[in-house]
Amino acid sequence: MECSDLAKKLLEWWGTNRRVFPWRGTLDPYRILVGEILLHRTKANQVVPVYNRFIEKFPTIVELANALFVEIRETVYSLGLLWRTEALHKMAQDIVTKFEGKIPVEREKLESLPGISHYTASALRCFAYGYPEVLLDTNTVRIVGRVFGTKVSDSSRRSRTFQRLYESILDKENPGGFNYAMLDLGALVCLPSEPLCNNCPIIQMCIFGSSRLGKIGCGKYLSLSS
């Protein structure tokens, strides 16, 4: 197997193992943005019922901007991290007043909004607009570190090295599918402890997994310039 097959193998696996969430079944930037903010430091399964209630109650950015603060707080309260209430409300109001109710695509404009981090902006640009964005979070950093045999630290999500490594394997033709597949691989197979390496579709490209199973991984041969 060639190392260039990583994206292909990963997407084939994802075709039958993908997790299904309501914010994934849309290209609506508002719904994707709400999902990403609610997912911050929160498990996806916990977010689903809150997300559904939120979208039912505030179906558009304008309705969210015009909502009472207490209404938003009551809707997201069960997830904790109550800063999200103010961030969601202020973000919606800024989008309405500064961008005529249209969620911008430009990174600089997105990151100027309350509650939108570099990661959130990247996720929105990828999943809503199709940009080939690198998504480095706890799960994907772990996968990249294991594939390339690179030590992971608390700062790896902001590391230029990890950015380049991820870029080298990112499927530029299907970045949304690839990024969702990476997130799902980290959640279902490439676990923090006791990873299920025997079930991994990219085991032959992974230095960590291959060595764990007594094989020779080819992650070290993946090009950083691809």
* pLDDT tens, residue by residue, 116-162: 999 999 999 999 999 999 999 999 999 999 999 999 998 999 999 99
- At 57-76, the pLDDT tens digits run 999 999 999 999 999 999 99
- Active-site residue list: 36
Share of the chain above pLDDT 70, in %: 93
Residue 88 has pLDDT above 60, yes or no: yes
pLDDT at 222: 57
What pLDDT, on the 0 to 100 scale, is given for residue 214? 75
* Confidence band for 81, pLDDT divided at 50, 70 and 90: confident
Per-residue model confidence (pLDDT) at position 220: 56
| Closest to 1 measured CA to CA, from 224, 211, 225, 203 | 203
**pTM here?**
0.91
Cα 131 from Cα 125, distance rounded (Å): 6
Give the pLDDT confidence score for residue 212 in this predicted structure. Answer: 83
Q: What is the pLDDT of residue 4?
A: 61
Q: Per mean pLDDT, which range of 37-41, 71-75, 145-149, 212-216 is the poorest?
A: 212-216
Domain architecture of the chain: domains with CATH: 3-17+133-221 (1.10.1670.10), 22-129 (1.10.340.30)
Given the structure tokens 């991820």, which residue do they identify?
Answer: 166
The mean pLDDT value for 219-224 works out to 52
Residue 155: CA count within 13 A, CB half-sphere: 3
- Confidence check: pLDDT of 190 > 60: yes
The pLDDT value given to residue 5? 85
